[in-house]
Amino acid sequence: MSADVDVNQPWLDAVRFDERGLVTAIAQDDATGRILMVAWMNREALQETADTRYATYFSRSRNRLWRKGEESGHRQRVHAIRLDCDGDVIILRITQEGGIACHTGRESCFFHELQVSDAGEPRWAPVDPVIKDPSVIYRK
**Average per-residue pLDDT for the chain:** 94
Looking at per-residue pLDDT, the higher value among 140 and 107 belongs to 107
Q: What are the residues facing 77 on neighbouring strands? A: 54, 95
Return d(Cα 44, Cα 31) in angstroms, integer: 27
- Predicted confidence (pLDDT) per residue in 17-55, tens digit: 999 999 999 999 999 999 999 999 999 999 999 999 999
CA distances to 21, 34, 65, 101, 104 from 110, rounded to whole Å, are 25, 9, 23, 10, 11
All structural domains of the chain with their residue ranges: 11-106
Q: Is 107 left (phi over 0), alpha (psi -120 to 50) or beta?
A: alpha
pLDDT at residue 1, as a whole number: 46
Return d(Cα 47, Cα 36) in angstroms, integer: 21
CATH H superfamily, domain 11-106: Phosphoribosyl-AMP cyclohydrolase (3.10.20.810)
Contacts of residue 17, Cβ cutoff 8 Å, sequence gap at least 6: 23, 42, 43
- Predicted confidence (pLDDT) per residue in 69-97, tens digit: 999 999 999 999 999 999 999 999 999 99
- Across the range 107-116, mean pLDDT stands at 96
Picking from 38, 44, 56, the residue whose alpha carbon sits closest to that of residue 12 is 44
pLDDT at residue 4, as a whole number: 78
Is 121 a residue whose pLDDT tops 90? yes
Q: Is 121 left (phi over 0), alpha (psi -120 to 50) or beta?
A: beta
pTM of structure: 0.90
Q: ∠ CA 113-97-128 to the nearest 5 degrees?
A: 20
